């Protein structure tokens, strides 16, 4: 062509033919590469649109000398028909492939097959064990009580035979609030509340969260769960307490649990005992969880101190009772093989939960998924 194709003086038909051939080659190549209808639609616009490669040439026909408009127009329109044919052919191919894929999917679908099961949420181990303990004690005639996590100093200490001058205050590092309230260091304040509310005889358990400012390790946390237990009646004794504790642990663990009973000191009971269970993490061989002792302190307990009974309005000449503070978080660790108490306050149990323990319906509805996730 002399000058540009859009020049008004004249046009070289040989150059125009070469330009048209290049455009057609590009369209053929790009149409083969188009993988869907949208890509093909974009290609069609770039080639035949008003600002496209061929469309821009069609717009310039009126700018040519009259004697050349006919040959130029025929060449461009013939090229447009060929390009449109290439695009339409590829469009048919893509639609046919899409229809074939849809037909195959329809043929593969079996409406008689069961639907896909989506993973469901599950209970936290502490919650699961708490509910299980509540059911056990309800069968034994206990009621379930609750109490506030923010307690008065009187309810948390003084009503439980721990006056301000008592050295036992040093045993529990407490979170104090500026208004004189405390984050309860144990669930025992509900002992006092229940005695004042119900009197005697009395059988209650109190599951709940407790707070202590203490060093965190594999078996100690600053936030943990307890289940307080209190039974007041005629002629209650230590053997009643030990028998109840063994029944509870055997029911939760679904087998006979090896326990040991040793003396313990707690201001609100007299005498006091510590009931330990064999460490389920190491089988008694010794590990970080049990501090290499083979035993886990699980149930501090004892006979309710007369001062506590009196504070609750109970006649100590007529009634006796036992109380315990079951370590709910530690029992959940033993039941589900959780090596470190800190993981129970985190959002992900997988790193420290044994796969062989994480297989029951309470924790993992899909045992196959849970096993692969914990390898």
Q: How many residues does the chain have?
A: 375
- Output the pLDDT for position 119: 63
Omega of the bond leading into 201 within 30 degrees of 0 (cis): yes
- Output the pLDDT for position 219: 65
Domain range annotation of the chain: 13-105, 125-373
- Output the pLDDT for position 295: 93
- Output the pLDDT for position 165: 81
Angle at 321 between CA 315 and CA 327, to 5 degrees: 140
- Output the pLDDT for position 305: 95
Per-residue pLDDT of the chain (375 residues; tens, 9 = 90+): 444 444 444 556 677 788 888 888 888 888 888 888 888 888 888 888 877 787 777 777 777 788 777 888 888 888 888 888 888 888 888 888 888 888 888 888 788 888 777 766 667 888 889 999 999 999 999 999 999 999 998 999 999 998 888 776 666 667 888 888 989 989 999 999 999 999 999 999 999 998 887 777 766 777 889 999 999 999 999 999 999 999 999 999 999 999 999 999 888 999 999 999 999 888 889 888 888 999 999 999 999 999 999 999 999 999 999 999 998 988 988 998 888 777 787 776 565 454 444 444 333 333 333 333 333
Closest CA to 320 of 195, 231, 227: 231
- Output the pLDDT for position 12: 67
pTM of the model: 0.61
> What number does CATH give the domain 125-373?
3.30.930.10
What's the maximum distance between 2 C-alpha atoms anywhere in the chain? 130
- Output the pLDDT for position 372: 33
């Amino acid at each position: 062509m002399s000058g540009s194709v859009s020049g008004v003086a004249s046009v070289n038909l040989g150059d125009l033919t070469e330009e048209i051939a290049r455009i057609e080659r590009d369209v053929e190549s790009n149409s083969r590469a188009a993988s869907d209808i949208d890509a093909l639609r974009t290609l069609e616009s770039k080639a035949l649109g008003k600002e496209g490669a061929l469309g821009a040439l069609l717009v310039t026909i009126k700018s040519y000398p009259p004697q050349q408009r006919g040959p130029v127009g025929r060449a461009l329109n013939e090229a447009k028909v060929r390009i449109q044919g290439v695009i339409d052919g590829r469009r048919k191919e893509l639609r046919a492939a899409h229809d074939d894929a849809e037909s195959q999917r329809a043929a593969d679908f079996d409406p008689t097959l069961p639907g896909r099961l989506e993973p469901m949420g599950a209970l936290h181990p502490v919650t699961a064990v708490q509910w299980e303990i509540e059911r056990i004690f309800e069968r034994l005639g206990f009621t379930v009580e609750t109490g506030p996590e923010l307690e008065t100093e009187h309810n948390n200490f003084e009503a439980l035979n721990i006056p301000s001058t008592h050295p036992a205050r040093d045993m529990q590092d407490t979170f104090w609030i500026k208004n004189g309230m405390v984050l309860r260091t144990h669930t025992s304040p509900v002992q006092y509340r229940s005695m004042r509310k119900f009197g005697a005889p009395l059988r209650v358990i109190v599951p709940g969260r407790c707070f202590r400012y203490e060093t965190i390790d594999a078996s100690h946390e600053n936030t943990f769960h307890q289940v307080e237990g209190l039974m007041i009646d005629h002629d209650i004794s230590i053997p009643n307490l030990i028998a109840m504790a063994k029944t509870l642990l055997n029911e939760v663990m679904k087998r006979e649990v090896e326990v040991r009973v040793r003396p313990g000191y707690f201001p609100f009971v007299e005498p006091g005992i510590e009931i330990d269970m064999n460490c389920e993490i190491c089988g008694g061989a010794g590990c970080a969880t049990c501090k290499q002792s083979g035993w886990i302190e699980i149930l501090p307990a004892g006979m309710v101190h007369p001062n506590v009974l009196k504070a609750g309005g109970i006649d100590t000449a007529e009634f006796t009772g036992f109380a315990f503070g079951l370590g709910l978080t530690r029992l959940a660790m033993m039941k589900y093989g959780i090596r470190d108490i800190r993981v129970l306050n985190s959002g992900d149990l997988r790193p420290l939960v044994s796969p062989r323990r994480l297989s029951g319906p309470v924790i993992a509805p899909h045992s196959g998924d849970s096993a692969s996730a914990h390898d």
